[in-house]
Amino acid sequence: MATVRLVHLKAAFRGWTPSPPTAWELLRLPNSSIRAFSSAMSPPSRAIVYDEQGSPDAVCKVKELPPLPIQDSDVCVRMLAAPINPSDINRIEGVYPVRPPVPAVGGYEGIGEVHSVGSAVKGLRPGDWVIPSPPSSGTWQTYLVKEQNVWHRIDKSTPMEYAATITINPLTALRMLEDFVCLKSGDTVVQNGATSIVGQCIIQLARVRGIHSINIIRDRPGADEVKQKLKKLGADEVFTEKQLEVKNLKSLLTDIPEPTVGFNCVGGNAASLVLKFLKHGGTMVTYGGMSKKPITVSTSSFIFKDLSLRGFWLQKWLSSDKSKECRDMIDYLLSLTRSGELKYDMELCPFEEFPTALDKALGKLGSQPKQVIKF
Amino acid sequence: MATVRLVHLKAAFRGWTPSPPTAWELLRLPNSSIRAFSSAMSPPSRAIVYDEQGSPDAVCKVKELPPLPIQDSDVCVRMLAAPINPSDINRIEGVYPVRPPVPAVGGYEGIGEVHSVGSAVKGLRPGDWVIPSPPSSGTWQTYLVKEQNVWHRIDKSTPMEYAATITINPLTALRMLEDFVCLKSGDTVVQNGATSIVGQCIIQLARVRGIHSINIIRDRPGADEVKQKLKKLGADEVFTEKQLEVKNLKSLLTDIPEPTVGFNCVGGNAASLVLKFLKHGGTMVTYGGMSKKPITVSTSSFIFKDLSLRGFWLQKWLSSDKSKECRDMIDYLLSLTRSGELKYDMELCPFEEFPTALDKALGKLGSQPKQVIKF
């Protein structure tokens, strides 16, 4: 068994030798109960494990987990790719309200290829591409065994990195466009944090439906290129926060109607700008707080402008048994990635370089695209 | 014609002598168009008028308005009583989004007795008690002529001061309990500004339906008596803001469930306390901002606690042709005042002492009950 701090991860990947499993490693998936004997076993799995909550670069270790029995209705999947999402980091830090008990394997979504199936499994066979849908914990490892109902087979012509990342961020974008306001072609939405994956998806999913988007980004070097990039994706308007320091925000809009719904993943001033753009009676949906600043709203915004403020959390939406709807939406989103109508920035990173990918995901190396581990 | 600053109002009431009307006084009601000849005329009316927007004690004057022709479908009402509401003051100051054009007569609700009716008026006759419903401008005067549809006849056994004040604050309380969350007997609501008229009404209207209330009041001398008073009205819990400076707010609740809806008329810290009390998935409705401080909300309140923030403005609700529903609710509320199930603090003030009543309503004389002018 190899247990090493991430700073030594590369060495661990080179020098790893198997050793007898500890008690908890026999359980492998912390949530599973002790399993009955089974003839088929999974291969051993190399995994990013944390034994305690804390800063991910301090608590994450690479471990070799022993083979696991494959029950009749289990599917053993060889993972191909899995992203590092902000919520993965928050789960490891212990600040996310819903998280697996420690010790745990990191990751919550990803794409894999079926390696072997239990005797009672129907509709899946070795070689199929599958994703856990709804998303499920423990995807940062080379072999993952879960009950057949967890897995959703997808079209193998899908670009691997999109298949690995479709179930959280793009689904959040799709649900938020559907669940709060009845949007029609020709309507407008406004958002801050427009360069995030959710932000890029909102622009494109809106465009597919003929809905305009107003996008707010941070002031930073290269803002002009960012604007051009978002406009290429279909953004109607892109403003930096500084550009919006004007008395009459709405005078900046020329041809498009006032937005009826806004999306906020930043907080602070960037949230106030979304509120200012909204039409009378509009709704702002908060799904993130990147600035770590709260949202401040005037009394008159509620009384005289009749604004509504709501929140969206995919995990809650998924908890109300939406597996069928969820998979239909995943198929729709993946079809858009295949046709090129939905795309977003990602960087594939070999599993051996996980520490670098984690540093990038933690923001230690400046603004970086979404990191996707390739196993 | 007498036009005097309010500081000289008492003298004006004593020394008034009629003089020829000015052009606009011929119109009397600023919103009416020039009327056709009619044989019947109203008596002259003594009114609180403002020619320009500004501080009410600077711009309000008492004026003698000349007789007005009574059209076929008009009703001339001798006003009996009318309150000074905060929104009346905001209209005069010019900070209320909907207000009559100046010059205007103050006031927006009240009770009167039918003095005379036009030839086509049906269902109303001299001696009836009527209120403008929906509420309507210009009630601070001794005789008010408006179209018959404006007037709603009420039971003459109703206490006059309640009839004068039922259409704005109690109706706001009733609508807010109905329109946002489906409340059942045994549920709980939370509110700040609990000593306001709306606050007192929420306590009692909730109690009538078997709904618990948690009430937040300011820290001030006499807070204990205020608590006792609100509990007598039916409040389950009353806390001062200082009492709520504890880590776990909800540990203060013993027998009642967490509130699903909260009402905020203060803003600032008092609004944050309402949010803290709310149950997961709860809604806070803002209908006032007495502290003049905005509302500050954490990102996690929206995402992980799934709170919704909304606003309520009676004027908007009324604008969507709710006259029938509105009158049914008024009748219900008035029946509660007659049975003693709905009461709130008021002080009747003779019209001659309007300047004192206005000073009290403006908060110049400390905390005072609602001022109701008696004509």
Q: Which of A97, A300, A305 sits opposite B304 (nearest CB)?
A: A97
Catalytic positions of B are 96
Mean pLDDT, chain B, rounded, equals 91
In this model, does residue A124 exceed pLDDT 80? yes
Instruction: Please report the pLDDT score of residue B320 as a whole number.
Output: 77
Which of A180, A192, A299 has the highest number of chain B CBs within 10 A, making it the mutation to test binding with B?
A299
pLDDT of residue A4: 41
| Res B19 pLDDT > 70 | no
What average pLDDT score do residues A329-341 get?
97
Distance CA B117, CA B66 (A): 18
- Name the percent of chain A in helix, strand, coil, to the closest 5: 35, 25, 45
| Residue B38 pLDDT greater than 70, yes or no | no
Return the CA Rg of chain A: 22
Which site among A303, A304, A318 would you substitute to test the B interface, given the most B Cβ atoms closer than 10 Å to its Cβ? Answer: A303
DSSP string computed for B287-308: ---TT---EEE-HHHHHTS--E
pLDDT value of residue B234: 97
Give the mean model confidence (pLDDT) for residues A97-123. 96
Of the candidates A301, A308, A313, which has its C-beta nearest B304's C-beta? A313
DSSP per-residue codes, A36-87: PP-S-BPPPEEEEEESS-S-HHHHEEEEEEPP-B--TTEEEEEEEEEE--HH
**Rounded percentage of chain A residues whose pLDDT exceeds 90:** 82
pLDDT score of A7 more than 60: no
Chain A residues with beta carbon closer than 8 angstroms to that of B316 = 306
pLDDT digits (tens, 9 = 90+) for B233-252: 999 999 999 999 998 888 89
* pLDDT surpasses 50 at A32: no
Please report the pLDDT score of residue A34 as a whole number.
43
pLDDT tens digits, A60-75:
999 999 999 999 999 9
Check B309 against A302: CB less than 8 A apart: yes
B308:A307 CB<8 A = no
Q: A286 to chain B: which residues are within 8 Å by CB?
A: 299, 302-303
Cross-chain residue pair B286–A302, CB shorter than 8 Å: yes
Q: Does B312 touch chain A (CB under 8 A)?
A: yes
Chain A residues within an 8 Å CB radius of B311: 301-308
Residue B62 pLDDT > 60 = yes
Q: Are B152 and B327 in contact (CB under 8 A)?
A: yes
Question: What is residue A163's predicted lDDT score, i.e. its pLDDT?
Answer: 98
Chain B interface includes A52 (CB < 8 A): no
User: pLDDT, tens digit, for every residue of A281-297?
Assistant: 999 999 999 999 999 99
Amino acid identity at B145: V
pTM score of the predicted model: 0.88
Q: Do A303 and B288 touch (CB under 8 A)?
A: yes
Do A294 and B297 make contact, defined as CB atoms within 8 angstroms?
yes
What's the whole-number mean pLDDT along residues B144-166? 97
B297 to A309: CB separation less than 8 angstroms, yes or no: yes
Nearest to B310 among A285, A308, A316 (CB): A308
CB contact under 8 A, B308 and A303: no
Average pLDDT over residues A308-323: 88
pLDDT, one tens digit per residue, over A140-174 is 999 999 999 999 999 999 999 999 999 999 999 99
Distance between first and last Cα of chain A: 19
CA proximity to A177, closest of A215, A204, A217 = A204
In this prediction, residue B22 carries a pLDDT of 52
Residue A309 contacts B, CB cutoff 8 Å: yes
Average pLDDT for residues A112-121, to the nearest whole number? 97
> What are the residue ranges of helices labelled H in chain B?
9-15, 23-27, 56-59, 86-93, 160-165, 169-179, 197-208, 223-233, 268-277, 299-303, 314-319, 323-338, 354-361
Q: Output the average pLDDT for chain A.
A: 91
Say if residue B14's pLDDT is above 70: no
B178 and A CB contact within 8 Å: no
> How many C-beta atoms lie closer than 10 Å to residue B292's C-beta?
10
- Chains A and B: how many Cβ contacts under 8 Å? 88
Q: What ranges make up the beta strands (E) of B33-84?
A: 45-50, 60-65, 74-83
Return the CA Rg of chain B: 22
Average pLDDT over residues A304-330: 90
CB within 8 Å: A308 and B309: yes
pLDDT of residue B4: 42
Q: Is B290 on the interface with A (CB under 8 A)?
A: no
Answer for the pair A114, A130: CB distance below 8 angstroms, yes or no: yes
pLDDT for B258-307, tens place per residue? 999 999 999 999 999 999 999 999 999 999 999 999 999 999 999 999 99
Which chain A residues are closer than 8 Å to B303 by Cβ?
Answer: 286-289, 311-313
A287 to B301: CB separation less than 8 angstroms, yes or no: no
What confidence score (pLDDT) does residue B318 get? Answer: 86
- The answer, for A300 touching chain B at a CB cutoff of 8 Å, is yes
Share of chain A above pLDDT 70, in %: 90
User: Per DSSP, what are the bridge partners of residue B62?
Assistant: B4, B48
Residue A23 pLDDT exceeds 70: no
ω into B134 cis (within 30 of 0): yes
Nearest residue in chain B measured CA to CA from A287: B303
Looking at residues B192-219, what average pLDDT do you find? Answer: 97
- The answer to which of A8-17, A122-131, B97-106 has the lowest mean pLDDT is A8-17
Split at pLDDT 50, 70, 90, the class of A197 is very high
| Chain A closest-CA separation from residue B277 CA (Å) | 17
Of A296, A308, A312, the CB nearest to B294: A296
Q: What is the mean pLDDT of residues B158-167?
A: 98
Q: B214 or B21, which is more confident?
A: B214
Q: Which residues in B lie closer than 8 A to residue A97 (C-beta atoms)?
A: 304
User: Are residues A311 and B310, on separate chains, in Cβ contact within 8 Å?
Assistant: no
B18/A contact by beta carbon, under 8 A: no
Q: How confident is the model at residue B231 (pLDDT cuts 50, 70, 90)?
A: very high
Q: Each residue of A212-253: pLDDT tens digit?
A: 999 999 999 999 999 999 999 999 999 999 999 998 888 898
Q: What is the ipTM of this complex?
A: 0.87
Task: Tell me the C-alpha to C-alpha distance, in Å, between residue B361 and each of A24, A209, A303, B368, B370.
Answer: 71, 53, 22, 7, 7
Torsion of CA A200, A206, A212, A213, to 10 degrees: -30
| Average pLDDT over every residue of A10-26 | 45
Rounded to a whole number, what is the distance in Å from the CA of A260 to chain B's nearest CA? 15
Of A301, A308, A313, the CB nearest to B306: A313
B95 CA: distance to closest CA in chain A (Å): 11
Rounded Cα–Cα distance for residues B192 and B172 (Å):
15
B24 touches chain A (CB under 8 A): no
Per-residue confidence (pLDDT) for residue B8, from 0 to 100: 47
B298 interaction partners in chain A (CB closer than 8 Å):
289, 294-295
Q: Which of B267, B297, B306 sits opposite A295 (nearest CB)?
A: B297
Q: Residue B25 corresponds to which tokens in the numbers above? A: 């006084």
